[in-house]
Amino acid sequence: MRVYIPATWPILARMVKNGRLDPMGGTAFALTPKLRESYTAGDEEELEYAAMAEAARASLRLLGVEFGLGEDDVPARRVVVAADVEATLRPDLDDGAVRISGGVPMSAIAAVHVDTEEAEYAVRQAAGAVDAADMGDLDAEFLIGEAEDHELAWYDPSEIAFLVELG
């Protein structure tokens, strides 16, 4: 199953160093039956994009924690790792949430999606507002939208070490 795993720059750097991705809490996102049912229209590609968007928002939450712990030097970029692994449904969470067990080997990674440098200001603002947006704060939701207006860049797995090195 193609899953979209939320990550951050430090998680990406550890992935390159260790040769595997260790997802936070085993949480990932995928095109689940529940996610498919929540959309009245859309082809497979559009629905996969919706799952990736959920992972990108989860990446904002991870960034918010890192910034809250004083990790201000962390690049403010959403990171989503697309991988082909076994997953189990998580009906207790968002529509597209799934659980994966264990680390994800580099051989299972299909692509990595990362914000460009131009998105950093909007992403930093959104990371600080994501919880308020979840609680219905319209100003915070606007900040999330500003970050989500930036498309994530696509990278082949063979390019990730070079990307992290350039940091």
41-50: per-residue pLDDT in tens?
Answer: 778 888 899 9
Assess if residue 139 is contained within a domain. yes
Q: What CA–CA distance (Å, rounded) separates 98 from 142?
A: 27
Number of domains in the chain: 1
The stretch 112-136 carries a mean pLDDT of 94
Of residues 11, 129, 33, the one with CA closest to residue 78: 11
Q: What is the pLDDT of residues 55-70, one digit of tens each?
A: 999 999 999 988 877 6
The stretch 138-149 carries a mean pLDDT of 96
What pLDDT is recorded for position 18? 94
In this model, does residue 37 exceed pLDDT 90?
Answer: no
Chain centre to alpha carbon of residue 162:
20
The stretch 87-100 carries a mean pLDDT of 86
What pLDDT is recorded for position 107? 96
Q: What is the pTM of this model?
A: 0.93
Assess if residue 10 is contained within a domain. yes
Assess if residue 64 is contained within a domain. yes
Q: Which domain holds residue 25?
A: 2-153
In this model, does residue 133 exceed pLDDT 90?
Answer: yes
Assess if residue 166 is contained within a domain. no
Q: What is the mean pLDDT of the chain?
A: 91
